Chains A and B, each alone.
Chain A
Amino acid sequence: MAEKTKKGKKRTPKLSCYVFRPMYATLKETVRATVHRPDTVLYPWEKLELPDNYRGRPGLVIERCIGCGICMRICPTGCIELVEVEDEQHGKMRRPQMNIGRCMMCGYCAEYCPKNAMIVTPEYELAAYTRQDLIYDPFELQHEYKPGYEVSIVEVLPSELKRGVGEKEPGREGKDRPELSDAKCIGCARCAKICPAFAVEMIQVGVSDKGKPIKRPKFDFSKCVGCEQCVENCPRDALTMKEVL
């Protein structure tokens, strides 16, 4: 209870300390809260204004999505899964489905999406009656796009900031690339079929003993998004991811 003054003397709080001052403070607060309105927001009817970069549930712009599965790979809670869906406009396609109940709203899927197809939306009222309702299929996951909803990783060095270089998005050249080990490849062209970005092209490199053409994949690294699907689907493990240094 005792407080020390500047001179180092101890003094016990007087009546003013624990009666009059709190009474004055509360009266001031009452007058303030009566003249203006209390700070409480009547939630279901009124809502707080959200900040511009608010990260609510992730949303999908289905036209942009190529189904590469990077979001599924990067998701820390593992709530994204690629499922086969069908649409009149696009035909059969693989698109992410999301378990919102597991989602922790980190926005990594939107950050790492190479086509900015995954965006963060300001929606946060996600309660549902059953767990099944929480699993959003790609069409449910769709959300209207507005500029500012996309999130991107920006890279900048402190030294560059001092020199006046602003933040920039890392280009494709800095990302990991698939690399072919020629001896293992059987030329099955599965990588070319699976590639969501159409970056793989089969090129004839020679003729075999029996006279059949030998084909090898050729990667167009300006198109490649680094999704590793070709590596995963290679039947002979001929492809590996190579780190670009």
Chain B
Amino acid sequence: MDLYQFTEGIVSWLVGIVNWLLNWLGFHGLAGWLGSPDVIKFLTLLGESIVLLAVGFIVAITMIWQERKTLGRLMDRRGAMVVGPAGYFQNIADGLKTLLKEYIIPEKADKTPYNWAPVIMIGSSILLLVAIPLSDRFYMTDLDIGLLFIFAVFSITPFAILLGGWASNNKYSLIGGMRSAAQLISYEIPLLLSMVGVVLLAGSLNVGEIVMAQENSVWFIIPQFIGFIVFMIAIVAEVERIPFDLPEAEAELVEGWWTEYGGMRFGLLMLAEYFRGYAGAAVAVLLFLGGWNGPFLPPELWFLIKVFIVFFVFIWLRGSLTRVRIDQILNIGWKRLLPLAMVNIVIAVAIKTLGWI
């Protein structure tokens, strides 16, 4: 039973109750319309997306909590610890706090793009969740070009950042937005090239089939180790975390391109950041770490455990490394990662040609 059938069962049961009620009240036409297969399909998709959003939300909240605790341990502190068990509900408390804040629009801001940039950012971040399957039964869509879709949606974000940075009419946010655009051209190509090796070995862009290929042979981290390293560096740049958090360099630009955003938009942007962190870690798991494969535990749990382990690496990098300059990230992207990604493709082609996998 997969997620669709499960949700359909629940939706049919609910619709059955409502239909009985409507029939009892005498609205037979409305009951018939509600019971038609198209309406049920629509409601099922709606319910499915709500489930997926809830999963993404819980994972993102847990990631923020994980980051606070782990970063605390990295710095010999305790991290959040008062609200809820081990400080788990601190994030929810912070969310409520941002919800209560006034939403201020700067007087000289360009209103329309200023209001729409976070919508694009948050929307694209949530859209990412659609293409990420938690297991072979827990997924929303089974796209044949799933990987391409994920990275296409990933690449929308710098546009939103540039838009928001420009519309804020503030020097810090403008510099942040420009940096995001400059960063995009340095990491995007090595990222996609490091992915090519995996696609070659699996012979498909479908995420599910890539995981199946790893289940049948070995996890692609073993033949594609160089690719994994390149991918990890590039995905850290993609989700804009330290050491590549140039658009929101807290020490240099106040809060980068978010400087002028306040209230719940700030909170949602923060959440979107972690949605993207989840998506980035999930893609790393799907491509290199065998996806949801693992003994004993249910596959969804295995997938999430691996995601949290990859995210721990992100936190570790954040705790130990310094922020790179904009020229340094260009050097890293073009002079180091690009050749390494090429070497990785050669290795992948050799393995595929010799028929080892």
Partner-binding segment picked from B145-153, B194-202, B313-321: B313-321
- Judged by a CB distance under 8 angstroms, whether A18 is at the interface is yes
Q: Which of A25, A34, A38 contacts B77 (CB 8 A)?
A: A38
Shortest A181–chain B CB gap in Å is 69
Binding site for A on B (CB under 8 A): 70, 72-78, 81, 316-317, 319-322
22 A-B pairs within 8 Å (CB atoms) are namely A22-B320, A23-B316, A23-B321, A26-B316, A26-B319, A27-B320, A29-B73, A29-B74, A29-B75, A29-B76, A30-B73, A30-B319, A32-B76, A33-B73, A33-B74, A33-B76, A38-B72, A38-B76, A38-B77, A40-B77, A42-B78, A42-B81
Q: Do residues A40 and B78 form an inter-chain contact, with CB atoms below 8 A? A: yes
Extra contacts besides A22-B321, A30-B70, A40-B76 (15): CB < 8 Å: A18-B321, A18-B322, A23-B316, A25-B320, A26-B74, A26-B316, A27-B316, A27-B320, A33-B73, A33-B76, A34-B73, A38-B76, A38-B77, A38-B78, A40-B78
Shortest A94–chain B CB gap in Å is 48
Complex Cα–Cα for A26 and B320 (A): 6
Complex Cα–Cα for A19 and B332 (A): 13
B78: which A residues are within 8 A, CB to CB? 38, 40, 42
**Chain A interface residue count, Cβ-Cβ cutoff 8 angstroms:** 16
A25: which B residues are within 8 A, CB to CB? 320
- Judged by a CB distance under 8 angstroms, whether A63 is at the interface is no
Complex Cα–Cα for A68 and B321 (A): 63
Complex Cα–Cα for A141 and B78 (A): 37
B73: which A residues are within 8 A, CB to CB? 29-30, 33-34, 38
Complex Cα–Cα for A29 and B74 (A): 6
The chain A residue sitting closest to B243, CB to CB, is A19
Shortest B81–chain A CB gap in Å is 8
Shortest A53–chain B CB gap in Å is 28
Complex Cα–Cα for A25 and B74 (A): 9
Shortest A169–chain B CB gap in Å is 44
A residues 202-219 in Cβ contact with B at 8 Å: none
Q: Do residues B74 and A30 form an inter-chain contact, with CB atoms below 8 A? A: yes
